[in-house]
Amino acid sequence: AQSVAQPEDQVNVAEGNPLTVKCTYSVSGNPYLFWYVQYPNRGLQFLLKYITGDNLVKGSYGFEAEFNKSQTSFHLKKPSALVSDSALYFCALSGTGRRALTFGSGTRLQVQP
Amino acid sequence: GAGVSQSPSNKVTEKGKDVELRCDPISGHTALYWYRQSLGQGLEFLIYFQGNSAPDKSGLPSDRFSAERTGGSVSTLTIQRTQQEDSAVYLCASSPDPTYTYEQYFGPGTRLTVT
């Protein structure tokens, strides 16, 4: 069985500071990892993905994520947070034999002005 | 272009009634997924359709839940004899490619409230 863990329910950061939202995973075989963001009363919006290749993946709105195979992690990062980044962030995983996404529990990011 | 659309956006129903939720995927997308988002359970996979293949129903929580996809496009999720624990946001997603590597595009969801 595959699983995703997001250990922080909420992350608070000041505007202009760097942010990190943590994600670890468990899967047999190669992981395919995704980050999605959800704004209030909206569906999920794709941010970025890791499939293969460079461990540092760049995505939308200045976000990036680092894949670390030895630590089975895929943390989301941004060098300088904006108030408008405040939202709910989900890490997700698909893997061989399962096309549907397995989601983490979500992390609420709050960026204070 | 148009994204994934879902209807209704909100549905309030009485316990024991049947409900139908509709999803219109992005044109040309062959893969279609239903998920459920609830406070207690987070985001759960329900069912997956790919072309004319038999759907993957492994996530359906009970036999009260069913779904169909007509003509490889529109999908309807039906919940029979609704229960209060069915209250959740039901999200539909589509993808142009059935492989594991392609991102999914989500609709805005249908918020179901069972009273």
What is the per-residue pLDDT across A14-67, written as a single tens digit (0 to 9) for each?
Answer: 999 999 999 999 998 888 999 999 998 788 999 999 998 899 999 999 999 999
B5 burial level (CB within 10 Å; 0-12, 13-18, 19+): middle
Banded model confidence at residue B1, pLDDT cuts 50, 70, 90: low
Q: Does B32 touch chain A (CB under 8 A)?
A: no
- Helix, strand and coil content of chain B, in percent to the nearest 5, comes to 5, 50, 50
Kindly tell me if the per-residue pLDDT of B97 is higher than 80. no
- Residue B84 confidence (pLDDT): 96
Quick check: B45 and A96 CB within 8 A? no
Q: Pick from B43, B50, B98: which is nearest to A90 by CB?
A: B43
The CATH number that applies at residue A32 is: 2.60.40.10
CA distance A87 to chain B (A): 15
Structure tokens of B7? 């209807």
pLDDT of res. B39: 82
Domain that holds residue A105: 3-112
Domains and CATH numbers, chain B: 23-97 (2.60.40.10)
Which chain B residues are within 8 Å of A102, Cβ to Cβ?
A: 45
Q: Which residue has the higher pLDDT, B23 or B102?
A: B23
pLDDT of residue B98: 66
What are the chain A neighbours of B101 within 8 Å (beta carbons)? 32, 49, 51, 94
Which of B100, B101, B102 is the best residue to mutate to test the A interface, defined by the most A CB atoms within 10 Å of its own CB?
A: B100
Say if residue B25 is exposed, middle or buried (CB neighbours under 10 Å; 0-12, 13-18, 19+). Answer: buried
Higher-confidence position of A43 and B33 = B33
Give residue B48's Cα distance to chain centre: 9
* Domain total of chain A: 1
Q: How far is B78 from chain A, CA to nearest CA, in Å?
A: 20
B42 pLDDT higher than 90: no
Task: Count interface pairs A-B at CB distance under 8 A.
Answer: 53
Question: Distance between CA A68 and CA A79 in Å, rounded?
Answer: 19
* Per-residue model confidence (pLDDT) at position A95: 77
Query: Is B63 near chain A, with CB under 8 Å?
Result: no
For residue A29, give how far its alpha carbon lies from the nearest alpha carbon of chain B (Å): 12
Max distance between CA atoms of chain B, in angstroms, equals 40
% of chain B with per-residue pLDDT over 90? 78
- Antiparallel, parallel or unpaired: β B19-24 and B31-38: unpaired
* Predicted confidence (pLDDT) at residue B100 exceeds the cutoff of 70: no
- Residues A68-93 have pLDDT tens digits of 999 999 999 999 999 999 999 999 99
Q: Provide, rounded to the nearest whole percent, the portion of chain A with pLDDT above 70.
A: 97
Q: Does B87 touch chain A (CB under 8 A)?
A: no
Cα(B112)–Cα(B14) distance, integer angstroms: 11
